[in-house]
Amino acid sequence: MTVINHSAADGFIERLPKDMRFFLVHGSDEGLAHERVKTIVRRALGGDLDPLRLVRLEGDAVARDPGRLADEAYAVAMFGGARAIWIDAQTRDLAPALEPLFANPPRGCVIVVKAGQLRRGAALRSAFEARPLAAAIECYPDEARSLGLLLEAEAKAAGLAIAPDARGALLALLGADRQTTRTELQKLMLYARGRGRIEVEDIEAIVSDAAPSVLDELINLTLLGDLTAVAAAAVRYFSEGGGGDALLVRLVSRLTLLHRLRVEMDQGKPFDAACQALSLRLPPSARRALAHQADRWTSESVVRRLPALRATSAQVRADPDLADALATRALWSLARRRG
């Protein structure tokens, strides 16, 4: 039995036990879960992601036909070597399909299951936590310390320093999703290349949610519940080439930031003090919009909606063709409901 908490996960994956056969990677940060699953698979296969040695299965397919999972697990690679099975569990409980494999672990094959947030005691999580050759790995949004370490590593690799006020502004904008965080940091490092030091102006110019855009306008209107204006802004956004995948990522990021703000405000802090506690520095227009949203939403209302929104974002990553339709549905769902 191996339970790996969020803060210890990267170190565990870096020194992956050779005898471990089963991995459950779960949590609310879908981008981080995807990144960690990919790293586990790569390490298990010795860096070789040859499709002949890696099988990817959807949770629905495994639940419908558990025998297929067993067939794949006990198969022998055509040209020898280790094999891996990557399962996107989605919302399915795959414990029954995995039980025969737990009882008779396959040789030369690791099974990695990626799932969303699972409460303690959930059947799938408990199944992994109770087995000697299995590990359950938590993935939650980066906290300030881990996000700071990630930022410093990216800046060092790019040969850049970062001004203290720029660092604070950047940390306040990122962290909701590891994949989004890496994308934004890569954009920033490329933009600032050759300057030697990243300043606040660079953050405002390039990082999502720091500079005004059609997407900002659409998200602001949605979270304020202005249905008529949301309809017009959505038409403009999509007609100008905006994508549903980017929209969902930004919605998750904004709601996560709103939750952090509301938690501070629930402790009696006014909006400005809550921003200061989070080292949040935004342009005046973005700050005003966020203040109105913080008045409309509560921490409880954000918590009720975030899991579904994160699940929708994960669904879009699995099937990009549904991005625009699912993003539009999410917009209307958020705009229609009061905080």
DSSP assignment of 107-123, as one string?
SSEEEEEEES---TT-H
Instruction: Report the CATH number at residue 93.
Output: 3.40.50.300
**CA pair distance 89, 73, nearest whole angstrom:** 16
Nearest CA-CA partner of 29 in 61, 13, 6: 6
Computed over every residue of the chain, the mean pLDDT equals 85
Confidence of residue 24 (pLDDT cuts 50, 70, 90): very high
pLDDT in tens, 274-303: 888 876 766 667 788 899 999 999 988 988
Instruction: Tell me: do 70 and 121 sit in the same domain.
Output: yes
Instruction: Tell me: do 220 and 300 sit in the same domain.
Output: yes
Instruction: Report the CATH number at residue 187.
Output: 1.10.8
User: What pLDDT is stored for residue 41 in this prediction?
Assistant: 93
Instruction: Tell me: do 225 and 257 sit in the same domain.
Output: yes
Instruction: Tell me: do 181 and 244 sit in the same domain.
Output: no
pLDDT in tens, 63-115: 889 899 999 999 877 667 889 999 998 778 899 999 999 999 998 899 999 99
Q: Which of 176, 206, 236 is a domain's end point?
A: 206
Q: Which of 138, 166, 198 is a domain's end point?
A: 138
Confidence of residue 208 (pLDDT cuts 50, 70, 90): low
Instruction: Tell me: do 222 and 329 sit in the same domain.
Output: yes
Instruction: Give a three-class secondary structure readout of 78-94.
Output: CCCCCEEEEEEEECCCC
Contact 128, 24 (CB under 8 A): yes
Q: Which of 106, 138, 170 is a domain's end point?
A: 138
User: What pLDDT is stored for residue 283 in this prediction?
Assistant: 66
- Domain hosting 94: range is 2-138
DSSP state of 307: H
pLDDT in tens, 151-207: 888 899 999 999 888 888 787 777 667 777 888 888 889 888 888 899 888 887 777
Instruction: Tell me: do 166 and 85 sit in the same domain.
Output: no
CA 326 vs CA 32, 151, 154, 231: distances in Å:
21, 31, 32, 15
Instruction: Tell me: do 54 and 104 sit in the same domain.
Output: yes
Total domains, the chain: 3
CA 121 vs CA 21, 170, 290: distances in Å:
22, 36, 37
Instruction: Report the CATH number at residue 305.
Output: 1.20.272.10
Parallel, antiparallel, or unpaired for β 83-90 and 109-115? Answer: parallel
Instruction: Tell me: do 224 and 311 sit in the same domain.
Output: yes
Tell me the one-letter amino acid at 168. G
User: What pLDDT is stored for residue 216 in this prediction?
Assistant: 83
